Amino acid sequence: MNAISKYGRLVKFSHTIFAMPFALMSFTYAVKTMPADATLNVWVLLVQVVLCMVFARNVAMGFNRWADRDIDAKNPRTAQREIPAGEISPRAAITFVAINAVAFVLTTLTINSLTAWLSPVALAVVMFYSYCKRFTSLAHLVLGLSLSIAPVGAYIAVRGEFALVPCILALVVLTWCGGFDIIYALQDCAFDREQGLHSIPARFSARTSLMISIALHAVSVASLVWFMTEVGANWLMWCGAAVFASILVLEHILVTPTRQRNIGIAFGTLNGLASLSLAVLFIVGLLLL
């Protein structure tokens, strides 16, 4: 149990709450809009999608912690993470990543051919993010892109094809995550500048960085409105969108250029609440259509 706890902390398993709700939204929409004559074992497929989400998340975070182990050791905020603290060895961490990568690909093979063919692409994107801070300030958007794979992948798992609606939801996720990652990165802007690492806060002032975050979140809300219009949302689904948007506004009220002590609450608590609220109200509303 201690080992499970260590690896759970390594990959920040609790942060699965960011992308998983959007995958479930897309999955429910795909199932709900299936042709009447389609045959589908929904519960088995749901388990397969959730497993893919967990395995991909483990690969992404495990690889990130392995790739950043030397950087994390120098940063007082991250020096106690499992690898620099010596709780998990680099070799054990990369083995964990490899096992989850294989499990992810094998699970996609049990779903359909398109998910299987795209599985290496998904892994490449989520692992590529770990190196972005070394050469681009747009690393936040690459993180958003990594998480935005979830709703598209969930839809493809059900339907075996691409469609516009899950791609709009992916845009919501990309800009939402990119925006809140900029807020999170404010904590390390001085360290990043010192080490020659790239981020929006390391390149710009806190005020400009937060304005960029607000702009990304404005695109996220606009994309969510587009998504709701495309799916023919009812009042309950629109309530979910309103709650999501309101929480993003609260996030920017709590974190300002001169008040950054609430970053932890804004990053973890509020964003988790935003995604969960939206998903619950959307899924219930969709099932009632």
Q: What is the pLDDT of residue 187?
A: 94
* Cβ contact 240:285 at 8 Å: yes
DSSP secondary structure string for all residues of 111-123? T-HHHHHHHHHHH
Q: What is the pLDDT of residue 40?
A: 83
pTM: 0.94
* Cβ contact 32:287 at 8 Å: yes
Q: What is the pLDDT of residue 14?
A: 62
Q: What is the pLDDT of residue 271?
A: 92
**What span, in angstroms and rounded, lies between the C-alpha atoms of 264 and 268?**
6
Domains and CATH numbers, the chain: 2-288 (1.10.357.140)
Among residues 189, 199, 198, 251, which one has the least CA distance to residue 220?
Answer: 251
* Cβ contact 135:198 at 8 Å: yes
At 271, the amino acid letter reads N
Q: Which residues of 143-162 are buried (b: 16+ CB within 10 A; e: fewer)?
A: bbbbbbbbbbbbbbbbbeee
Each residue's pLDDT expressed in tens, for the chain with a length of 289 residues: 577 777 777 777 666 778 999 999 999 999 999 987 777 899 999 999 999 999 999 999 999 999 999 999 999 999 999 999 999 999 999 999 999 999 999 999 999 999 999 999 999 999 999 999 999 999 999 999 999 999 999 999 999 999 999 999 999 999 999 999 999 999 999 999 999 999 999 999 999 999 999 999 999 999 999 999 999 999 999 999 999 999 999 999 999 999 888 898 888 889 999 999 999 999 999 998 8
